Structure 1
Amino acid sequence: MQAQNLQQRPAEPSSLDNRLYGFIVVVLLAALAVSGYLSYLKLFPAVAPACPADATFDCNTVLNSRFSVVAGVPIAYLGFFTNVVLLGLLIAERVVRSFTQYAPLAVFFVALFAFIYSVYLVYVQAFEIGAYCPWCLAHEALIALIFGAAIWRLRTSGAL
């Protein structure tokens, strides 16, 4: 009876997996802070962003461009929502036992989508708008770190 219970219980995460999980959580909290700030700026357009304004960097130009909204929804809100979804998946991974084995794959796919969209947004800043938003670039870099760690987790778990 006891051996049967051991077989049904999911394997405990490895030390490396725990470190990668913790890394993703920390980076995700930073991404939530940045996307929260960008969402705040969209919600209160009278607030001036804490951003240098010169020929290369201009948050106002980027945040108010035609590319800053998708189907009427500011992409800052979409970024914040995506980060909340990722955090929810990570919490569910540790709380819902039946989800433990699927969560890293779910995190990977959400991070993959976010990474691809982030690459597109960097392209838009560089070639369509002609200005960069340091806050946006910071968020895109954080998403790249999350995506890289999500790939690493899948590779070390044998899922990839």
Structure 2
Amino acid sequence: MSGAAPTQQRSQQASPLGWLPWATLVVSIAGLAVAAYLTYEHFTAGTTLACPNTGVVNCAKVTSSQYSKLAGIPVALLGLGFFAAMTVLSLPPFWRTASPWPSRARLAAVIVGVVFVCYLIWAELFQINAICLWCTVVHALTIILFGLVVIRLALPPLD
């Protein structure tokens, strides 16, 4: 009987944490899909953005602005790389490993991602004077990923 108690206690401790790795994977895949769409639109002149192109909400204005590239690299492509990396780092083996590197890489990536999102939001609001709905989805997913990664790091280990 005493063997059942530690297992039951461990599963009770693990249950609140069990969904976080899966949530990061789902959010990363969603971000990968949106970033892939924005990358496709960037390289095909963005004629099918499915977003208004007048007024404050103007995806075409945002995605074709000078802020749509960083050092000549399309921001959409950088987002695609970010979400591809986060998808890999969110796979179950990278959550289960005893190595600290996947956890550190996840944290570093989401910190860089959130800083970059802040820059992009600033550019949209104060430089471009337009908001891209698709970009806003990417920004929100990045912030959600940041929250999930930080929450997981703040919680006690599963062991």
The interval holding the TM-score normalised by the smaller chain is 0.7 to 0.9
- Determine the structure 1 residue equivalent to 2:151: 152
Q: Structure 1 stretches of 5 or more lacking a match?
A: 1-11
Report if the CA contact (8 A) 1:105-1:154 is conserved.
no
Change (3 A) 1:27 1:46: closer
CA distance in 1, matches of 2:46, 2:148: 37
- Report what 1:75 is aligned to: 75
Change (3 A) 1:15 1:106: farther
Structure 1 CA distance, aligned partners of 2:41 and 2:116?
Answer: 20
- The CA distance in 2 between the partners of 1:107 and 1:46, in whole Å, is 31
Structure 1 residue 70, shift from structure 2 partner: 1.0
Distance 2:102 2:155 in 1: 14
Whole-angstrom distance in 1 between the partners of 2:46 and 2:15: 47
Contact 2:51 2:58 in 1 (8 A): yes
Q: Which amino acid is the alignment partner of residue 104 of structure 2?
A: L
Give the paired residue count.
146
Q: Which secondary structure state, in structure 2, belongs to the residue aligned with residue 52 of structure 1? A: coil
> CA RMSD for the aligned pairs?
2.1
The 5 Å alignment of 1:55-94 reads 55-91=55-91, 92-94=93-95
| Percent identity of paired positions between Structure 1 and Structure 2 | 28
TM-score (norm 2): 0.83
Compute the displacement of 1:71 (Å).
1.4
Amino acid at match of 1:88: V
- Structure 1 residues 26-55: Cα deviation after superposition (integer angstroms, max 9, x where no partner): 111111111011001011116331101231
2:17 partner SS:
helix
Please name the residue that 1:28 is paired with.
28
* Unmatched segments (≥5 aa) in structure 2: 1-10
Aligned residue number for residue 9 of structure 1: none
Kindly indicate whether the alpha-carbon contact (under 8 Å) linking 1:59 and 1:133 is maintained by their aligned counterparts in 2: yes
- Cα distance in 2 for partners of 1:60, 1:98 equals 45
CA contact (8 A) 2:39 2:80 kept: yes
Task: Tell me, yes or no, if structure 1 residue 116 matches structure 2 residue 115.
Answer: yes
TM-score by length of 1: 0.83
Aligned equivalents of 2:128, 2:156: Cα separation in 1: 41
The structural deviation recorded for 1:98 is 4.7
SS in 2 for 1:49: coil
Distance (Å, rounded) in 1 between the aligned partners of 2:120 and 2:156: 31
Aligned pairs for 1:43-62 within 5 A: 43-45=43-45, 47-62=47-62
For the 8 Å contact 1:104–1:153, the answer to whether it is kept is no
SS of the aligned residue for 2:130 comes to coil
Shift of 1:94: 4.7
**For 1:29 and 1:125, how far apart are their aligned partners in 2?**
25
| Alpha carbons of structure 1 residues 133 and 75: separation in structure 2 relative to 1, 3 Å | same
